[in-house]
Structure formats: C-alpha cells, structure tokens
Structure 1
Amino acid sequence: MTKSLSAEQPDLSVIEGRATSVAHLFVERVAKTPTREAFRYPVGEQWKSITWSQVDERARRIAAGLVSLGVEPEDRVAIASATRLEWALADLGIMLCAAATTTIYPSTTADDVLFITSDSGSVVVFAENEEQVAKLRGGRDVIPSVTKVVQIDGAGDGDWVIGLDELEQLGAAYLSENDGALEKRIAQLTPESLATLIYTSGTTGRPKGVRLSHDAWTYEAAAVDSVRILNEDDVQYLWLPLAHVFGKVLLTLPLQIGFPTAIDGRVDKIVENLPIVRPTWMGAAPRIFEKVYGRITTMMAGEGGVKGKLFDWASGNARKVATARGAGGKVSPVLGAQHAIGDKVVLAKIRERFGGRVRFFISGSAALNQDVARWFDAMGMPILEGYGLTETAAASCVNRPDSNIVGTVGWPVPGTQVKIADDGEVLIKGPGVMQGYRGLDDVTAETLVDGWFHTGDIGELLPTGHLRITDRKKDLFKTSNGKYVAPSLIEATFKGICPYASQFVVEGDGRKFVSALVTLDEEAIVEWGAAHGMPDADYRTIVTSDAAREMVQGYVDELNLGLNRWEQIKKFIILPRDLTVEEGEITPSLKLKRTVVTRKFKEDLDGLYV
C-alpha cells in the first residue's frame, strides 16, 4: 500500500493556462512591463539596473548571434560561468533561438567539463573567462561538436573563441537582414521541447544529464505564482549557482511574476550586498543560514555584559512568541509587550543587517537544522524550507508563510502529487518531473515508473499534508548491532548546536558504534582561537589543539543527549582542513559527497575502531 496526498490545492487554472515555453513567458513579460526593472547587477563598487525591454534587446542579439553560428532548435548550448547578469542573458538568448541550455558550474573540473560538453553534444559554449576557456582548449579533440566558444570576459582569439560583444554584433547584423527570424524560432517551440540539460552533482560516479522541458519550467513558475507568496513589488537577491536547478527556478520566477532580481554570485559579497540590495526575499542553501546563525550568536555571546544579556532576553522572548504562533496558540499580553520592546531595541538591528525588508527566506538543497530555522523565525525572518530535485525541476514542495511547520518541507506545489512507498521512499508525479536521463534509458526506467519519480529520499506525510524528509535512502546505514541510523538528521542537528561547525560527517556502517568527522568554520574558529589564547595561530593549529577538541567534545555531548543510545557519537576526528568543492568533497551546491569523504578518510576512521 502507498499513502497518497490530497491536500487542498489553490486554483489550478493559473497553472493550466501557463505559457507554451520559457521563450513565450519571457516575451509576455517584456510586453507586460517593458520599462520596469528586471535586474540590477554590480559594476565595480556600484550597482546598475536594466529594464525588461533592455534585457530583451540584448537577449535577442545573443539569440540571433547563435542562429548565425548555426545553432538549430534543441541544439545544446552550454554555459560555464558563475552567477551574473550575462548568465541570465545567455540563457534567455538560448531560449529565444529555441535551443537548450546545458549548465556547467565554474568550479567543475576540466575532466568533467569535457565530459558534460561531450555527453550533451553542446555546439556552442559560453565560458566566463580564460580559466573556463582553458578547460575546453585542453580537450578540444574530445569535444568535436563545439564549433564556437563565447568568452564573456575578454576578447576572442580570431578563431575558435569569440567575445560576447562579437556575438551580439553578429546577432545585430543577422536581425537587420532577417526580420522575424526569432519569432519563427519561438513559434516552433512546444511545451515538450527540450529547454535545459542539467547534470546532477554526481555525489557518486559520473554526473547524469537530466532532460527538462519548457513545460517543466513554465509549470514551476506558474505553480509558485499560484501560491501567492510573491508579487511584482518583491525584490529578489540571487547569488545561488545558476547551474543548479534551484538557481534556475529562481531565475524563471521573475519571468512569471515580474519582480526585479539583484544578481551577483560572489558568495563572499553576500553580507556586504544585503544592506545595499535590501531584498524582500532570498533563496539559499542551509549552510548560509548556519554560518549567519553561528556568526551572530557567537558574536553576541562574546559581547557579554549588558549587551549579551539584552540579546538573550530579546531572542528568548522572540522564540517563545514564534513557538506559540507556530503551534496556533495565543501570546500573553505580558510576553507580547516584552517581545515588542526587544524587537525594537535588538532584533530590528539584526534585520537591518539583511537590509531590513526580508519577508522570508527559502531554503533548499539539503536539510535545514530546526534550531537554526526557529532562530530566524524568532528574528522576524522566517525560513520556508522547500524540497525538490534536479529531476523534478526543483520546487516540488514548499512551506507557506501562513503554514510554516519547521522540520518539514511543506505542501506540494499545486499540480504536483506526492506519495510514500512501502519502504518509506518519497515518490513524485507532476509536470515538473524530467523527461529522463540523456542516453541512460535503463536508469530512467528504474527511477521513473508510471510517471512517478523515485526520489531516493525517505520521508513521511503529516496529517496536515506537510512532507517531512528523514534521510537519503542510500545514506541510511546499519551498525553491527543491527540498528539503523539516519546520518543527515544527526549532522544537521549538530550544526545547529555547534556555532563553529562547518561539516559533520556521521559514519558507522557495519561498525560497532557511530563516529564522526568534524570540520570547523575557518572565520569563526580563528576568532575563537584569538579569544582562547591563540591570537596568531593558523587554522590547522587551532583545530588540532586540545582546547578546540575539548570545545567540540562539549557540543558532541550536548548532541548525544538528544539521540538514541545506538545513534550517539562515541568518537570523532577534527580534520586539519575544511571540506571543499575543489577537492571534490562537497558539490557546488554545498551538498556533502559522503562516499567520497568516507573513502578519502577511511584510514582515519578505521583507526577509531581499533
């Protein structure tokens, strides 16, 4: 037997009347609000703005330039770049010429760049800079399908590589001689036409190319719009990788709803940008929220004295209020008055760090710690956790501001069905589900059965209709004592308890007890070291010190208090460095590559069980 969800859904007519394609959706947006701001983007130390009609002009030149290079409908065109305005323009240009975007992270290794480019059959590649071009040059003989590389920053080489300006010039010339050419291309598009080829992050093995149609994206945009949590007066701050399915959804929503997007993929600029951009909402991975939470709480704890006590008092009251409201209860007049004072004196200043206008955040990509979620809720900036996969075009479920149950990923978006299989696996059906994996029919048949996508995640449906994810099916392990352990939940819990944690990798498959690999956040731990007699010590010296181990042990002990005996962390290792994308230990979307990490540090882990 399977348990199906039949939650009350909003009006589905909005979804049923959605645009034919992303290109159609964009054309409609330009026609509706040509002079409204579409994007703002950094130029040096300043921010500039561009309207929808201006975006249209550049996107059409790019589209026509691609046509002049011989790009045909549904040909793949790759983008290897960080999140920036030009990524969005290139993607729109690809949509307008009826081609399909292949996404590549800028941090992808040269070997994987060549694999993705070759496997996708991409004919043109947008490369951000010389570093990305070099990855392609090194294996030019294995990517014969690539006829041109368009370099965003910098000039061409007069041969295989051309500059973005040169492409736009080719496009302008083509349009002047071929009036209506793009309209003909757009008219050829159907909802089933291939729009995007996104390669999974590859936590194990080679990445798989996920085929997503135009219908998947227009559905996602219409479905989120129908929930009515966003409007055209919102301002989005978009820094997430656009090569990731979550980022791509956030890039499609403005086409449907019309709000402006501040776009800048530099992660080290987030804190600096927030009070300048003053967004009303932002999507992010849990790691960003964990870092902010750890940073602010440790900073206030370090203040001590009156400031520290005032912060504890104000945040404590806020938590009580948030908890009461979340449970549908009433707030007493005394607590309400205390909260109002604390909010004005303390919490408002914290919100100002985020620009002072955030209505909510949306978290996806991995599990969010519940304590971190409750803290943000108490600060007046609730995090709406959502759920989806590359294979479901991201947004399958999301919490709503008026029904946000911490620890769940919310209700399915209108038009998506969710059910739980006999073994606890979450199954999803809806217009957002992929067409299949490119060139992998057998794998597609295994994961896509009768329209239901088998997610590989274990979960449960609450009586309210909210979905709760327990863990990845393949990550669950059994100790030698026969007890099952869900590592992701333990890992997320620890990162909420320990403000200095960066990564916490739980291990114990087939072993007599559970252990962990620990890494610490460099910025936070250097400050901790300075306050604990190590002012000039480097990261490695601090994290391998007896003092740091004692500190971490205290947080592990606190974690163990809330775990079953067989789940408790008996031993742990603090690694002398953090896990990185460059070392292949986490994905560009900040998800842990568990198999890679446990294999790489196997000898260290084995030593714990001697």
Structure 2
Amino acid sequence: MALNHDTSFLDRMQPNVAVQFRDRVQRSPEREAYRFPRGEAWESVTWKQLGERVEQLAAGLLALGLEPEQRVGIVSNTRYEWILADLAVMCAAGATTTVYPTTNAEDTAYILGDSECRIVFAEDEIQLAKLRAHKAELPHLAKVVTFDPPTGSGQAAANGDWVIGLDDLAALGRDHLAAHPGILEEKAHSIGPDQLATLIYTSGTTGRPKGVRLRHRSWVYEGEAIKAQDILSEDDLEFRWLPMSHSFGKVLLSVQLAIGFPTAIDGRVDKIVDNLGVVKPTFMGAAPRIFEKAHGRIVTMTAAEGGAKEKIFKKAFAVGLEVDRLKREGKPVPLPLKVQHALFDKLVFSKVRERFGGRVRFFISGSAALNPDIAAWFNAAGITILEGYGMTENAAGATVNHPEQNRIGTVGPPFPGSEVKIGDNDEVLLRGPHVMDGYHNLPEETSKTLTEDGWLHTGDKGSIDEAGHLVITGRIKELFKTSGGKYIAPPAIESKFKAICPYVSQFMVFGNERNFCVALVTLDPDAIAGWAAENGMEGKSYADIVASPEVKDLIDGYVDELNGHLNRWETIKKWEILDHDLSVDSGELTPSMKVKRNVVESNYRDLIDSFYA
C-alpha cells in the first residue's frame, strides 16, 4: 500500500467551496482571477470583480427559490460564464449538475431529469432547443438561464418567462441582496463538508450514464492537496480549455481557489494552439490526445520539409532522448553530448517550446493513459508532462508526478492525506476525502464500487513501484485472453502505435478468444490531409485518401514497426482503416474522447469476423 502521511493541511481545510471561494476573494482582491476572449481581444477580471458577480448570481438563484442541495444544470462549453454559474450554485448551497454541450437531446433530458434539476444554465439557442424539445420530461425544471441571449424573431414570446438571461439573474440577485443583506455569508457558513456540491454523470461506455455524487469536502481537499505538494504557485498562469463538464476541468478550478493563480479560459479546441501563443501560460491540463496530435503534427510538418531540416530534427531528438535518459538514470552527461544538446536546444527544441507559448513549466496529463515514448519525446524538447491519475468517482485527482521527480511511465505518488493500495487481480483501490458519496439513485451500483470501510474499486489494473509511484497497466475489463491462453492489454499496444505513427487518430486492438490479434485504424483527418497534399491527392475526401494503396502501404510500414516492439502473441496480423474517424456524434467516443470499445466492436463485428475467416 502507498500512503502519503503529510496530512497537516487537513486540519486547516475550509469546510466547503463557498467559504473557500470567499476567502480567496478576500485574500487576493486586486490580483487577476480570469481572462477570457471578447471578440478578438482578451478581457480580464480580478478576484474582487469575480466575487461581486458570483454574489449577484448566487443571490439570484436564492431569489428563484433554490434550496440546499437542489440541483442546477450547466449545459455549455468551457467559458468564463461556466465558472460564474458553477461558483454561484455552490455559494447558494445548491449542487451543480454538469452536461457536455455535445450530449444529444435525449441524454441531456435524461441527466437533467434524473438529477431533478430545478434551474439550468444553457449556453445558447442550440442548448435551449434541447430543453424545449423535452420540456415535458423535465417536470422539476422551473427556469432556464442563458449565457448568450436567444436569437431569432419571436423567441422572447416563445420562451415566455421560462427563460431569462445572465444579466436578468444578476438583477434579481441585487434586489435580493438589498432585501437580505448578509444572506450569502450566512448561507456559506451553513454548508457542511459532506453536503452535495456536484453531480457529474460519467459518460460510460455501456448503458445509461451514472451520476457521481461529489461533496464539498472532495473539492476543497483536491485543491488543498495539490497546494500542499508545492507544484504550483500564485504566480503561475493556467490556460484552461478542458471541458468543465468533466471532473479534470472541475478539479483545476478547485486548485485555482486553493492557490490563487490566474486562469485564461477558452474551451474552443481549434483555438488551443493560437491561444497558447497569445496567453503564454506556465501550465495547462490536457488529455493525452492533445499531446499525440501535437507530436504527430510537428513530426509530419518536419517530414514534409525534408532535406537538411528533417535530418537536423531527427538528430536533435536522438541526442535529446539520450541526454534525458542519462539524467533520469542519474548518470553524468559526457561533454561532447552536452555541447551537441546545447546547439540543438537553440536550433530545434526552443522552436518546439515556442509553439506552446515558450513559458510552459509543465503540462498535466490525465483522463487516459499517456504513452511513455511521447512523454519522453516532449521531455527531450524541454517540455515536462506530469502524468496524473484519478477518476470522476474520486473528484479527478488521486496521484500525480512532481516536476523534481517525474517518473515517466508512472502516474506519480498519492495525494497527501489519501491512500492507494493494490487489491485482488491487481486492482487499484483508493481511499480518502476525495472519494464520492456514491452513485445518484443507484444504491446497488454504489455498493459494488465502494466497500464498507471506504475503499473505491477503480476497475484499473496497476502496481506500486519502489519509489511509491503508481503504475497503471490497463482497465481490468479491457484485458482479454487469446485462444492460445495469452493475456493481452489492448491499451498498451494501442498507445505504442500512437507513438510510432504520426498520422493515427485511433488504433483499436481486438482478439478475445481468437488465435491472433487484429486492429481497426482511423487516421487524423488534418494530418492525413497534409500528407495527401504532399503526395498528389490534394482535395480528395478522407474516405478516398485512406482507401488508397499508398496510404495502406504507409500504415502497413508503421504496423510492421509496431510488431517489432511486441511479443509474438501480441503482434497485429490483420488490420483495416475505417472510412471515417470516430466521433462523439457517431456514438463511438464518449464526450471525454474515450473510445466506446464495445460500440466499435459491435458496429464492425462483420469486419472483425472477416479477419478470421
């Protein structure tokens, strides 16, 4: 078992998020809290300005009759208004229910209905239309507050008094505060640590999503536990694009409240690279897919230039990886290698760092496994990626690597004040203040996942290394056995391919109870379009490009390279490129971009079976 014994901060923890937020506003009134895009420019607000706006909105919710622990939905992309809404709900003693903006209308209605939301913050007309279409299934929903005003003639009349704007809610709040001065301070001190703060519905790869009940204690603990590890300071600058509907995005808010650093926020994924250049953050949280895409983009762009540039690039990373390996093993770097490394740092690595704004101290990777080869590649360029681990059921954070002891291939040591142990079948178990209260309205599911003495079954297979760092080897349910009796861990093979092939989007391995492994492949549309333009296929559709003999030969070479790194029984004997990339809209990815393996396997059952015919 791994246990982090530094628990002194637990005695100083605030009782709830509302008090934690109010305390941050009082301590850092004139410091920057957020910056966010307004048209082409960025607008900035201080903690004092944020506090005033949140107070108005929280009081507005009370004016609408919100009671303690009653649910308030947020259906929106990541943006400044999302933060305002979430903080207002928790300061009013309500509980936020998060919904991905990409969630279809039926599932949106299910989540808001199951959680019995009384009020919903809806981003725009698109999200409002989902609620309007399923209004009959939402008997508890009394009011919708929009971030962007509804557009189109007759919309105001169509909405009646059911829909109001954010400014309308703030105006209600100002009136309520005038009539009830001190109400929010009183409300904040009435919230107990175990009171419900958030319902996050896990996207799930099978069946209906489950509502994870997270307490105020969980979020306060997460922020204070990160603060206690001295990873971040008030002088850092975060860039946040992650979905706030996901626990990874939510935990970054908790950390910000605990430490007080400013955050630049913009959830538009297509703007990430541009925004990094403008914002120049010192850190950012991201899912592994972002690093895979960045790695693939840089490698393919350099390959397209060819000639001396490509040779220098490849030599630079060969040197960088060797220097990085020696340093991690505690060995001296020979002087000739040091000189080469310094030269390549100026010629190559500095330019890679500049793509991410030039000031990044580290990235934090979570929500899925990060390939160690990709982590090492970034490390060689002077960009540290700290991999962490957790799940929605424990408020996102359970372990994380540290800048001064970043053991690539592990997800770091446990947070202080929490426990990690390895149970039966090498399952990772977690215990601590961050663990959920249970699943909403699902007592049987809760009893399967939580033990009576507070251990959370994660469903992940892992081990603890000699330094006390957790190593995750895959999902227990994803492991399969070939007909020859050999166990296969598909995620390990899949992540290896992603590190080798810069054009891949998804690589899915199958072979349960079969005599060999096969794979379904999808390519990154942008990356393969760039390749096509260089190879006489510019303007062709994705389906035409991936069906071409040239692309099949290209991928065949990468599969051969992959097989050279695998055990004989793991090698991919047959594979096929699908005519489309997986997407949330197709139902083959969850909103947090995880592959729904069972859906893909079901959709392509005939193709998979044909590999064995």
Q: Map Cα deviations across residues 234-263 of structure 1 (whole Å, 9 max, x no partner).
A: 000000000000000011111110100000
Q: Map Cα deviations across residues 39-85 of structure 1 (whole Å, 9 max, x no partner).
A: 00001111110100110111111101111111011111010000000
Q: Map Cα deviations across residues 13-64 of structure 1 (whole Å, 9 max, x no partner).
A: 2233111111111001000010100000001111110100110111111101
Equivalent residue for 1:260, pick from 253, 257, 262: 262
Structure 1 residue 536: deviation in Å?
A: 2.5
Q: Map Cα deviations across residues 94-137 of structure 1 (whole Å, 9 max, x no partner).
A: 01101110000000111111110011111100000111111111
Could you tell me which runs of 5 or more consecutive residues in structure 2 were left unpaired when the two chains were aligned.
Answer: 151-155
What letter is aligned with 1:464? A
**Counterpart residue number, 1:286:** 288
**Counterpart residue number, 1:479:** 482
Aligned residues: CA RMSD: 1.0
Instruction: Tell me the secondary structure at the aligned position of residue 472 of structure 2.
Output: strand
Structure 1 residue 318: deviation in Å?
A: 1.4
> Is 1:213 paired with 2:208?
no
**Counterpart residue number, 2:75:** 80
Structure 1 residue 315: deviation in Å?
A: 2.1
**Counterpart residue number, 1:505:** 508
**Matched ranges for 1:40-119 at <5 A:** 40-119=35-114
Instruction: Tell me the secondary structure at the aligned position of residue 587 of structure 2.
Output: coil
**Counterpart residue number, 2:380:** 378
**Counterpart residue number, 1:341:** 343
**Counterpart residue number, 1:140:** 135
Equivalent residue for 1:564, pick from 538, 563, 567: 567
Q: Is the 8 A contact 2:365 2:388 kept in 1?
A: yes
> Is 1:598 paired with 2:601?
yes
**Counterpart residue number, 1:314:** 316
241-250 or 556-565, which moves further after superposition? 556-565
Instruction: Tell me the secondary structure at the aligned position of residue 581 of structure 1.
Output: coil
Structure 1 residue 159: deviation in Å?
A: 1.9
**Counterpart residue number, 2:531:** 528
Structure 1 residue 12: deviation in Å?
A: 2.1
Q: Is the 8 A contact 1:15 1:226 kept in 2?
A: no
**Counterpart residue number, 2:226:** 224
For 2:592 and 2:350, locate their aligned partners in 1 and report how far apart those are by CA, in whole Å: 30
Q: Is the 8 A contact 1:41 1:48 kept in 2?
A: yes
**Counterpart residue number, 1:31:** 26
**Counterpart residue number, 2:205:** 203
What letter is aligned with 2:346? K
Structure 1 residue 314: deviation in Å?
A: 2.0
Q: Is the 8 A contact 2:3 2:417 kept in 1?
A: no
**Matched ranges for 1:393-472 at <5 A:** 393-449=395-451, 450-472=453-475
For 2:218 and 2:196, locate their aligned partners in 1 and report how far apart those are by CA, in whole Å: 10
For 2:384 and 2:164, locate their aligned partners in 1 and report how far apart those are by CA, in whole Å: 45
For 2:246 and 2:3, locate their aligned partners in 1 and report how far apart those are by CA, in whole Å: 29
Q: Is the 8 A contact 2:3 2:414 kept in 1?
A: no
What letter is aligned with 1:437? Y
Instruction: Tell me the secondary structure at the aligned position of residue 598 of structure 1.
Output: helix
What letter is aligned with 2:540? A
> Is 1:5 paired with 2:31?
no
323-332 or 571-580, which moves further after superposition? 323-332
335-344 or 57-66, which moves further after superposition? 335-344
For 1:476 and 1:347, locate their aligned partners in 2 and report how far apart those are by CA, in whole Å: 38
Q: Map Cα deviations across residues 467-517 of structure 1 (whole Å, 9 max, x no partner).
A: 111110111111222221111111111111100000011111122211111
Aligned length: 605
For 1:473 and 1:41, locate their aligned partners in 2 and report how far apart those are by CA, in whole Å: 41
Equivalent residue for 1:545, pick from 544, 548, 552: 548
Instruction: Tell me the secondary structure at the aligned position of residue 411 of structure 1.
Output: coil
Q: Is the 8 A contact 1:23 1:186 kept in 2?
A: yes
Equivalent residue for 2:194, pick from 178, 192, 195: 192
For 2:303 and 2:424, locate their aligned partners in 1 and report how far apart those are by CA, in whole Å: 47
For 2:535 and 2:327, locate their aligned partners in 1 and report how far apart those are by CA, in whole Å: 40
Structure 1 residue 566: deviation in Å?
A: 1.4
> Is 1:151 paired with 2:154?
no
For 1:119 and 1:176, locate their aligned partners in 2 and report how far apart those are by CA, in whole Å: 35
For 2:342 and 2:266, locate their aligned partners in 1 and report how far apart those are by CA, in whole Å: 35
Structure 1 residue 303: deviation in Å?
A: 1.6
Q: Is the 8 A contact 1:79 1:103 kept in 2?
A: yes
For 2:98 and 2:338, locate their aligned partners in 1 and report how far apart those are by CA, in whole Å: 49
For 2:95 and 2:275, locate their aligned partners in 1 and report how far apart those are by CA, in whole Å: 32
For 2:51 and 2:16, locate their aligned partners in 1 and report how far apart those are by CA, in whole Å: 16
**Matched ranges for 1:289-300 at <5 A:** 289-300=291-302
> Is 1:368 paired with 2:370?
yes
Q: Is the 8 A contact 1:274 1:354 kept in 2?
A: yes
For 1:37 and 1:74, locate their aligned partners in 2 and report how far apart those are by CA, in whole Å: 30
Equivalent residue for 1:586, pick from 580, 584, 589: 589
For 2:516 and 2:124, locate their aligned partners in 1 and report how far apart those are by CA, in whole Å: 48
Structure 1 residue 206: deviation in Å?
A: 0.5
385-394 or 170-179, which moves further after superposition? 170-179
Could you tell me which runs of 5 or more consecutive residues in structure 1 were left unpaired when the two chains were aligned.
Answer: none
**Counterpart residue number, 1:270:** 272
Structure 1 residue 370: deviation in Å?
A: 1.3
**Counterpart residue number, 2:494:** 491
Q: Is the 8 A contact 1:73 1:185 kept in 2?
A: no
Instruction: Tell me the secondary structure at the aligned position of residue 62 of structure 1.
Output: helix
Instruction: Tell me the secondary structure at the aligned position of residue 256 of structure 2.
Output: helix
For 2:426 and 2:578, locate their aligned partners in 1 and report how far apart those are by CA, in whole Å: 34
531-540 or 216-225, which moves further after superposition? 531-540
**Counterpart residue number, 2:116:** 121
For 1:123 and 1:422, locate their aligned partners in 2 and report how far apart those are by CA, in whole Å: 42
Q: Say if 1:293 and 1:144 are closer, same or farther in 2 by CA, change over 3 A.
A: same
**Counterpart residue number, 1:519:** 522
What letter is aligned with 1:347? F
What letter is aligned with 2:110? F
Q: Is the 8 A contact 1:254 1:260 kept in 2?
A: yes
Q: Map Cα deviations across residues 341-378 of structure 1 (whole Å, 9 max, x no partner).
A: 21122211111111110000000011111111001101
Structure 1 residue 538: deviation in Å?
A: 1.6
What letter is aligned with 2:552? R
For 1:149 and 1:329, locate their aligned partners in 2 and report how far apart those are by CA, in whole Å: 61
For 1:174 and 1:432, locate their aligned partners in 2 and report how far apart those are by CA, in whole Å: 34
Equivalent residue for 2:243, pick from 241, 244, 248: 241
What letter is aligned with 2:574? K
Output the TM-score relative to the length of structure 2: 0.97
Q: Map Cα deviations across residues 149-202 of structure 1 (whole Å, 9 max, x no partner).
A: 111101553321111111111111111111011112111101101100000111
Q: Map Cα deviations across residues 365-407 of structure 1 (whole Å, 9 max, x no partner).
A: 1111111100110111111110000001111011111111111
Structure 1 residue 313: deviation in Å?
A: 2.2
Q: Is the 8 A contact 2:91 2:187 kept in 1?
A: yes
Output the TM-score relative to the length of structure 1: 0.98
Q: Is the 8 A contact 2:3 2:418 kept in 1?
A: no
Q: Is the 8 A contact 2:508 2:519 kept in 1?
A: yes
For 2:242 and 2:368, locate their aligned partners in 1 and report how far apart those are by CA, in whole Å: 14
For 1:329 and 1:104, locate their aligned partners in 2 and report how far apart those are by CA, in whole Å: 49
